[in-house]
Amino acid sequence: MSELLNFNYPPEPAVDRVTLFADVILPLPLPKLYTYRIPFEMNDEVLVGARVIVQFGGKRVLSCIVADIHENAPAEYQAKYILDVLDDTPIVTAPQLKLFKWMADYYMCTLGEVINAALPSALKLSSESRIQLHPQYNPEEDKIPLSAQEEKIIFALQNNQALTFTEVGTLLQAKSYHKFIKSLIQKEAIIIFEQVSDKFSPKVVKKVRLSEHFVQEEGMLEELFNQLAPQPKQLDVLLNYLQKVPVHQDLHLNYKGLEKSVLTSNPHLSASSINTLIKKGVLEQFDQVVSRFPVDHEPRQLPMALSEHQLQAKDEILGLFKEKEIVLLHGVTGSGKTEVYIDLIKHALESGGQVLYLLPEIALTAQIVTRLMKVFGDKLGVYHSKFSDNERAEVWQGILSGRFQVVIGVRSSIFLPFHDLSLVIIDEEHEASYKQYDPAPRYNARETALVMANLQGAKTLLGSATPSIESYYNCKTGRWGLVSMTKRFGEAQLPDIELVNTRDEQRRKAMHSHFSGQLLTAIEERLQREEQVILFQNRRGYAPFISCDECSWIPKCKHCAVSLSYHKFNNELRCHYCGYHERMPHDCPACGATTLKSMGFGTEKVEDELKLMLPNAEVQRMDLDTTKKKNSYQQIIADFETGRTNVLVGTQMVTKGLDFENVSLVGILNADTIINFPDFRAHERAYQLFVQVSGRAGRKGKPGSVIIQTRDPLQPIFRKVRNNDYQSLYEHEIEERMRFGYPPFMRMIRVTVKHADEQVSENAAIVLAKDLTDRLGKQQVLGPEVPYIFKIRNLFLQEIHIKLPRENTNLKAAKAQLAQAIFNLKLLPDFKGVKVVADVDPV
């Protein structure tokens, strides 16, 4: 109805029949929000931050988030009606919406892309979404009260593995059926279908309980005692069970039973007697599925008592928080930062807010989660990429409902629906993996967390043994507070670091393949002393490339400008950029010779050779290839922790945060490629990596050593690493950054132009660079240039770097100019198919 008509015909008596519209965020890369009309009967039901179902385009029906409700009909199109309301309370909070808008602006992407990355798939429904029975729900046995419609759905699912939403609609012959699906999800009768069944693997524990009739029937238990009297060992088991499960006090306790391991791990009980009782039918063995987020019924452990240094650090942090929003804790490896965090989290929870604890990688979480779980029990939520979508949705809802007050998680946890944060902890803040490269939003979780904390009035503590130059600079200029811990916890010493010149060793013919004599001897010594060793090599696979001895042929990826890596375990050549793989050829496809040789080395080769050289050692490898499965990290770490493995070989994954008591030697096999990487952050990275990996050595009591193999021991970075001299690294780096115009003095945006035709890509980049120069000034635009890897996935790449002075730049205006330039470029007929990606603050 237009305003004019409204004026002529005054509204009908029903005063509340206002025509309302909702702007919604669809999980798609659309430049603008779409406006839908709210049917009158839903006027009270549609809420900002809640999901509604709409039709988008011709046929597609999908869920989206309401961003705003107003009375303005869109001018350009006839608004369609919202079809259904999914949530009666918002699932995206107000501060979250603000943050998402900031992310879209700052990282130059659409709100739809942010929402798409933010919401677990299980919360993004569309007509193509499918449902299946909850793996833990058995319709025959578990009597959940269901409505007639819900029963219909369950019945259909018992006969079909999965149903699409459209099929559910047809089944119920109803348009508005989403509420039934939602209700069934809440009742844990169904889940959103998961493609990979492996993802949803409920944890099962073996339990035992007394067979039913001993408990139900009067006098049976006494009779059992009499029967077992001649078998004292079996009687012991029974008594022990009754002690743990006082059935005589409460019959129902028997139903839950006892974890079998409680009995089997008791050294005073005989394992065979336990099994005999099961065989006899006295004890009944059963499997129980335990929650993915075990509720810790055990009394919570108190956190460890802080040492004097830790107390002092904590007091300093709390003191600084009185004046500053952000504090950096610079504490050497093993100084006990985690316990300081735990104490601060407790402190924050006491005053009622939520806490987010960010970690760069899941590899780390296993150990720290256990530590936090002991203190915070069922208040702790865990969020990481190895979780299934349904598990993630569970965490999401748990934060909304108040079940989880502390969340520990990786990068993507900044998307979670916090609304009352009082503390954010960013551990290992220097880590590059806080940055998402692809796809959009290309955000840095560290900066985003800072904005999120700011929006919710929370304090932020960043922690690192090797802070990023940018963060340290913020402390030096007084914007952030700085607290230092210079000593390791307890008596632990920082390790000794020895450099081995592999160039000399080669000349002396003293290298055993990639191992120097010093390193091998040191490893053997540790093994004899039953101590453990970590070996770091910054490359996975067996060899980064192979080459023909006769004609020098090197196999390259068909789609990328890189050589193929050799993976021995499956005899494959593989591209680490696009995943292309082929079988390792037997002889050279170019000249036919059978002299293909592998060049260089990766973790797989280190593992392989070590197993040959030290046949008695248990060697395990931790890299991308060995940690694909959901629980493989935990397994590898657990094996190492319990001493089942002696040597852990790995990529970056082994460098971070892991804390093993028994590791007394760390070896870095090839330091040179890390230092000589062509990037302005190469030295900072190298320092961080060497110090971090060295930090794994010699934790409790035992002094540790580190052996670094290099062809250039005089490289100044080593002196800084050996002396643990962060100050001199910082001073050197910050001076260079100032001189050559890099962050923190400049803000950078990397613009990548991509096209399947090399010439088109180059031409487009030239035109774009020219336009950007006109808009932003000559000083601000560098390039275009061809990046080191100039083709990925069949697209030829060109890069333009934009540098904007940190002070006195209108960043928003500059980004608007960039967006306009990209938009204009794509209008040109020659460059229609060109892709342009802007990466803000690339790392």
Closest-CA residue to 98 (of 140, 130, 68, 135): 68
CA-CA distance, 70 to 87, in Å (whole number)?
Answer: 19
Alpha-carbon Rg for the chain, nearest whole angstrom, is 31
Q: Residue 289: in which H helix or E strand, if any?
A: strand 283-290
Residue 689: CB minimum distance to ligand ADP, A: 15
> Taking CB within 5 to 8 Å according to partner kind, which of Zn ion, ligand ADP, none is near residue 819?
none
Q: How far is CA 28 from the centre of its chain?
A: 23
3-state secondary structure at position 661: coil
Residue 337: CB minimum distance to ligand ADP, A: 3
Does 417 sit behind a cis peptide bond, omega within 30 degrees of 0 on the bond before it? no
548 is in an annotated binding site: yes
Site for Zn ion in 64-83 (CB under 5 A): none
First to last CA, the chain: 52
φ, ψ of residue 273 to 5 degrees: the values are -65, -40
Of 7-15, 300-308, 548-556, 681-689, which segment contacts ligand ADP by CB under 6 A? Answer: 300-308
Given the complex with Zn ion, which of 550 and 672 has the nearer CB atom? 550
Of 333-341, 542-550, 770-778, 802-810, which segment contacts ligand ADP by CB under 6 A? Answer: 333-341
Q: How far is CA 188 from the centre of its chain?
A: 26
> Taking CB within 5 to 8 Å according to partner kind, which of Zn ion, ligand ADP, none is near residue 240?
none
Show the binding pattern over residues 588-627: x = contacts Zn ion (CB under 5 A), - = does not: x-xx-x----------------------------------
Residue 164: CB minimum distance to ligand ADP, A: 48
φ, ψ of residue 20 to 5 degrees: the values are -110, 150
Classify residue 778 as exposed, middle or buried by CB count within 10 Å of its CB (0-12, 13-18, 19+): exposed
- Compute the C-alpha angle 346/351/356, nearest 5°: 55
* 338 near ligand ADP (CB under 6 A): yes
CA-CA distance, 302 to 715, in Å (whole number)?
Answer: 46
Closest-CA residue to 140 (of 126, 128, 154, 150): 154
Which tokens sit at 159?
Answer: 């006969």
> Taking CB within 5 to 8 Å according to partner kind, which of Zn ion, ligand ADP, none is near residue 331?
ligand ADP
Query: Hey, what amino acid is at 655?
Result: T
* 664 near ligand ADP (CB under 6 A): no
Given a contact cutoff of 8 angstroms between Cβ atoms, the answer to whether 783 and 799 are in contact is yes
Taking every pair of Cα atoms in the chain, the longest distance, rounded to a whole number of angstroms, is 100
Residue 547: CB minimum distance to Zn ion, A: 9
What sign results for the dihedral spanned by CA atoms 406, 409, 415, 421? positive
> Taking CB within 5 to 8 Å according to partner kind, which of ligand ADP, Zn ion, none is near residue 73?
none
* 745 near Zn ion (CB under 5 A): no
560 is in an annotated binding site: yes
> Taking CB within 5 to 8 Å according to partner kind, which of Zn ion, ligand ADP, none is near residue 591?
Zn ion
Query: Hey, what amino acid is at 602?
Result: G
* 304 near ligand ADP (CB under 6 A): yes
Which tokens sit at 630?
Answer: 């959901």
> Taking CB within 5 to 8 Å according to partner kind, which of Zn ion, ligand ADP, none is near residue 335?
ligand ADP
Given the complex with Zn ion, which of 543 and 557 has the nearer CB atom? 557
Residue 156: CB minimum distance to ligand ADP, A: 52
Q: Which of 112, 336, 353, 783 binds ligand ADP (CB under 6 A)?
A: 336
If one counts every other C-beta atom within 10 angstroms of the C-beta of residue 741, the result is 14
Given a contact cutoff of 8 angstroms between Cβ atoms, the answer to whether 118 and 393 are in contact is no
Closest-CA residue to 233 (of 280, 261, 267, 270): 270
Which tokens sit at 500?
Answer: 């081995």
Given the complex with Zn ion, which of 137 and 577 has the nearer CB atom? 577
Closest-CA residue to 50 (of 22, 98, 89): 89
CA-CA distance, 273 to 268, in Å (whole number)?
Answer: 11
* 306 near ligand ADP (CB under 6 A): yes
Residue 589: CB minimum distance to Zn ion, A: 8
Given a contact cutoff of 8 angstroms between Cβ atoms, the answer to whether 145 and 126 are in contact is no
Pairing of strands 130-133, 190-192: antiparallel
Closest-CA residue to 114 (of 441, 439, 447): 441
Q: How many residues form the binding site for ligand ADP (CB under 6 A)?
A: 16
* 335 near ligand ADP (CB under 6 A): yes
* 790 near Zn ion (CB under 5 A): no
Given the complex with Zn ion, which of 465 and 795 has the nearer CB atom? 795
DSSP of 747-771, one letter per residue?
A: EEEEEEEEESSHHHHHHHHHHHHHH
475 is in an annotated binding site: no
> Taking CB within 5 to 8 Å according to partner kind, which of Zn ion, ligand ADP, none is near residue 619?
none
Which tokens sit at 406?
Answer: 């502390």
3-state secondary structure at position 778: helix
Given a contact cutoff of 8 angstroms between Cβ atoms, the answer to whether 739 and 799 are in contact is no
Residue 734: CB minimum distance to ligand ADP, A: 24
* 667 near ligand ADP (CB under 6 A): no
> Taking CB within 5 to 8 Å according to partner kind, which of ligand ADP, Zn ion, none is near residue 550?
Zn ion
CA-CA distance, 533 to 648, in Å (whole number)?
Answer: 6
Of 22-30, 41-49, 178-186, 303-311, which segment contacts ligand ADP by CB under 6 A? Answer: 303-311
109 is in an annotated binding site: no
Q: Which of 27, 95, 257, 334 binds ligand ADP (CB under 6 A)?
A: 334
Which tokens sit at 345?
Answer: 């989290």
Given the complex with ligand ADP, which of 548 and 691 has the nearer CB atom? 691
3-state secondary structure at position 134: coil
CA-CA distance, 168 to 727, in Å (whole number)?
Answer: 64
Residue 577: CB minimum distance to Zn ion, A: 5
Q: Which of 90, 331, 600, 743 binds ligand ADP (CB under 6 A)?
A: 331
551 is in an annotated binding site: yes
Closest-CA residue to 734 (of 691, 781, 690, 683): 683
Residue 333: CB minimum distance to ligand ADP, A: 5
* 144 near Zn ion (CB under 5 A): no
> Taking CB within 5 to 8 Å according to partner kind, which of Zn ion, ligand ADP, none is near residue 403?
none
Show the binding pattern over residues 528-567: x = contacts Zn ion (CB under 5 A), - = does not: --------------------x-xx-x---x-xx-------
* 333 near ligand ADP (CB under 6 A): yes
Q: Which of 293, 580, 680, 745 binds Zn ion (CB under 5 A)?
A: 580
Q: Which of 55, 166, 307, 484 binds ligand ADP (CB under 6 A)?
A: 307
Residue 642: CB minimum distance to ligand ADP, A: 16
Contact set with Zn ion (CB under 5 A): 548, 550-551, 553, 557, 559-560, 575, 577-578, 580, 588, 590-591, 593
What residues are designated binding site for Zn(2+)? 548, 551, 557, 560, 575, 578, 588, 591
What residues are designated binding site? 548, 551, 557, 560, 575, 578, 588, 591
Contact set with ligand ADP (CB under 6 A): 304-307, 310, 331, 333-339, 489, 659, 699
